[in-house]
Structure 1
Amino acid sequence: MKEVQAQFDSIRVSCAGGTVAARVGGQGTPVVLFHSLLADDTSFDGIAGALAQTHRVVILNLPGFGASDRVDGGLEQAADRVAAAIQAMDLGQPPILLGNGYGGFAALMTAIRHPGIASRLVLADCGAAFSEPGRAAFRGMSANAREKGLAGISDVAMRRLFSPSYQAEHPELIEERRQRFLAVDPETFHAACAALASLDVRDKLAQVTVPALVLVGEHDEATPPPMSQELTAGLPKAQLRILAGCAHVPQLQEPLQFLDAIRDFIA
Structure 2
Amino acid sequence: MSTPRFLTMPPGVRSRQIETAVGTFAALEALPVSGIPERWPALLVPGLTGSKEDFIAVLQTLAQSGRQVIAIDMRGQFESNGPDDRSAYSCAALGNDVDVLAQVIGHGGPVHLVGHSFGGLVTREAVIDGRTRFGSYTLMSSGPAAIVGPRERAGRIMLSELPDLGLEHLWHNRMEPEALSAGVSDEIIAFLRKRLFANSPTGMYAMTEEVLSAPDRCDELTQVDVATLVLYGEHDDGWPPRMQSEMARRLDADCVVVPGAAHSPAVEAPETTAAALIRFWNAAESRPRS
TM-score, normalisation: structure 2:
0.79
Amino acid at match of 2:230: V
Pick from 47, 65, 82 the counterpart of residue 36 of structure 1: 47
What is the RMSD computed on CA atoms of the aligned residues? 2.7
Pick from 114, 119, 132 the counterpart of residue 103 of structure 1: 119
Mapped to 2, the partners of 1:159 and 1:123 lie a distance apart of 29
- Counterpart of 1:61 in structure 2 is 73
Pick from 34, 41, 62 the counterpart of residue 51 of structure 1: 62
Kept after mapping to 2: 8 A contact 1:214/1:239: yes
Amino acid at match of 2:68: R
Mapped to 2, the partners of 1:60 and 1:77 lie a distance apart of 16
Kept after mapping to 2: 8 A contact 1:232/1:239: yes
- Counterpart of 1:252 in structure 2 is 267
Which shifted more, 103-112 or 191-200? Answer: 103-112
Q: Any gaps of 5 or more consecutive residues in structure 2? A: 1-5, 32-36, 283-290
Cα 1:243/1:179, change in 2 over 3 Å: farther
Identical residues among aligned pairs (%): 24
Cα 1:48/1:132, change in 2 over 3 Å: closer
Cα deviations across residues 123-177 of structure 1 (Å, max 9, x unaligned)?
Answer: 11001113665655423222222233234234645799x896xx23x43475133
Kept after mapping to 2: 8 A contact 1:126/1:227: no
Amino acid at match of 1:13: E
Question: 1:165-176 alignment to 2 at 5 Å?
Answer: 167-168=182-183, 170-172=184-186, 175=189, 176=191
Cα 1:19/1:179, change in 2 over 3 Å: closer
Mapped to 2, the partners of 1:258 and 1:172 lie a distance apart of 26
Rg (Cα) greater in structure: 2
Kept after mapping to 2: 8 A contact 1:218/1:243: yes
Shift of 1:9: 5.2
Cα 1:83/1:249, change in 2 over 3 Å: same
Shift of 1:67: 2.3
Report the number of matched residues.
261
What secondary structure, in the 3-state scheme, does the structure 1 residue paired with 2:44 have?
A: strand
Mapped to 1, the partners of 2:180 and 2:223 lie a distance apart of 35
Shift of 1:229: 1.7
Kept after mapping to 2: 8 A contact 1:104/1:123: yes
Shift of 1:3: 4.8
Q: Any gaps of 5 or more consecutive residues in structure 1? A: none
Shift of 1:215: 1.0
Cα deviations across residues 7-33 of structure 1 (Å, max 9, x unaligned)?
Answer: 4351332324x3333333422320001
Pair 1:195-2:207 in alignment = no
